[in-house]
Amino acid sequence: MDSPTIQRLRSEWQALGTAPPSRSACHRLAESEPAVAALGVDDLAELISALSLSSDRLSRHEATAVIAAMLRSADVDALIPRAIIQALIPGVLGLSRRIDIAGGPWSDLDAFYADAISALWELTMSWSGGNRPYAAGDLLSAVRTRLRTLQVSERRRRSHQTSTPDALDTLPASIGRTGEELLAAALADATGNGLSVTDGAILYATRVLGMSLGEVADLAEVPASHLRRRRRNAIDRLVA
pLDDT of residue 174: 41
DSSP label at 19?
S
pLDDT of residue 176: 45
pLDDT of residue 173: 41
The burial class, CB within 10 Å (0-12 / 13-18 / 19+), for 186 is middle
CA distance 190 to 167: 22
Say which amino acid occupies 65: A
| Rg over CA atoms, the chain | 21
Nearest to 113 by CA among 104, 157, 132, 155: 104
pLDDT of residue 178: 47
Q: All domains of the chain, ordered by start, with CATH? A: 4-151 (no CATH), 165-239 (1.10.10)
Tens place of pLDDT per residue across the chain (240 aa): 679 999 999 999 999 999 999 999 999 999 999 999 999 999 999 999 999 988 888 998 999 999 999 999 999 999 999 999 999 999 999 998 888 888 788 989 999 999 999 999 999 999 999 999 999 999 998 899 889 888 887 777 777 666 555 544 444 444 444 445 555 555 555 555 566 667 767 776 676 566 677 777 766 667 878 778 877 777 776 655
The burial class, CB within 10 Å (0-12 / 13-18 / 19+), for 161 is exposed
CA distance 186 to 203: 11
